[in-house]
Structure 1
Amino acid sequence: PAGALKSIMKKRDGPPRSEAEGSKKSLQFVGVLNGEYESTSSEEEEEEEEGDSSSEKASADSSDSEEQGDTETSDEEAGEGECEPGQECEGANVTLPEPPEVKEKHAHALPRFELSPRMREACLIVKTHLGHPGATKSKEVLASSSLVLQEWFRLSSQKSSIPDTVANHLLAFAEVSPALLAHVVNLADGNGNTALHYSVSHSNFHIVQLLLDTGVCNVDHQNKAGYTALMLAALAAVEQEDDMNVVRRLFSMGNVNAKASQVG
């Protein structure tokens, strides 16, 4: 940079290298780099202070040749060096903004998840029906509702269900419509169990957390045996502190006493 060249050239009139070499060399700790001490010698410190080491001269000559035509090397002209557009110069400090393509690379590192065409079509049909709750279900609506239910329980309610897969689908349902998201999250199978019932029973607490995060999960829903997910949580295996925090959250959101009295 221009400021660095100016600083180096001003120091070329200092005492000769032999004076610095005459000093006794001793190691000193000057900082920590990556968890380890970085050492230097008093000789190196004196050379840096006096600005007269041969390495500095070589660096200056190398910088002169590399930046020829772009940076002026005289004392007066070095202070007047101009920065490229988009750069911020302040004395010898030059700040280069992060290229937009780098930010975009991080932001779009993973491909965006999308529902399969068949699943998306079924979701749109169910969404339309949800907007007309009193309407009679046509064969198309019944078929679409069945497909959505089967796919939802397949991906969310197994012992081997993957949280990331569930999260992607929840986002996709929400993009179709908030009403569809609430409908799918609270779907119940033939025994009255929801994805929350199954996730608690399987101790899939990451998925439980995702369901609670939607803000539309009915934690007090009873299955046909009269059990809520809260009651099943009392029997679930909870080993990690993070899992216990999810259970506490589940209990804080549900009406434990009222449901227990109904079952008992």
Structure 2
Amino acid sequence: MSAGAAGAATVPGRSGGPGRFTAGFRDAAAAEWLKLRSLRSTWWTLAATFVLTVAVGLLYGTTIGNHPEDYRKDVFDPVLMGFAGVSMSQMAIVCFGVMAVSGEYTTGTIRASLTAVPDRTVFWAAKAAVVGAVALAVSLPTAFATFFAAQTSMGSELNAGLGDPGALRATFGLALHLTLLCLVSAGVAAVLRGTVITLGVLVPLFFIVGDLLASLPGVGQVARFLPNIAGSRLMSTVPDSRIGYGPGPGLLVILAWTCVALACGLAALRRRDA
């Protein structure tokens, strides 16, 4: 990321009403989009999100389709199983969210960005909006491509159609899960500022801590409310008694994580020097 890209759209400090905030936000968002699209890591991480989700979904679907007798139809969730690739691809979308924020601190271009957009609330709102919009723009086609790839390869004996109960909602749920997980990661990156330290916190939280907590007596229920677990409920069409809640509460849980992470990111940005 270059300082020139960071300051491509200069937005003077603005206050005094929603109209000025809107104008400042629009210019800041344009600058954030310019910065994101100029980063090579943006395209690699987003491409990895798509490829991994679809490829692993296709692999799971093919494996299930080759051995349909191993699955009980009354408890089998073909949609969630087809989305199994998200367990790997969410790492890519997490990296995208982290690097979209921490990259400016690593290179020092955050100073140029805050000079161009001195209102830090406007700056953070624009960055979060652009990061979220880009994540959603990639996650939506990823979700539908994965659904069709996995269900087609699964075979007619076990697969689901997009018109089946909960299937369309779960497909949109996958896109929402990846988008919100990306925003949680961006918020944490704004607090911790470094790429390595942020990933050092998020990777165990999303991929290790849940399994560890689940195996400990008395605290296993805590793991149910981690953002990746809550997000997985959005992709399900069959209830899971081990988790104990469905898509609606799952959405509320991951939204709460997202709001807290973004609020903490804004607080850190406002209180500390660049």
The answer to whether TM tops 0.5 is no
Report which structure shows greater RCO (CA 8 Å, sep ≥6).
2
The normalised TM-score by structure 2 is 0.27
Higher helix residue share: 2
Higher strand residue share: 1
In our comparison, the structure showing a higher alpha carbon Rg is: 1
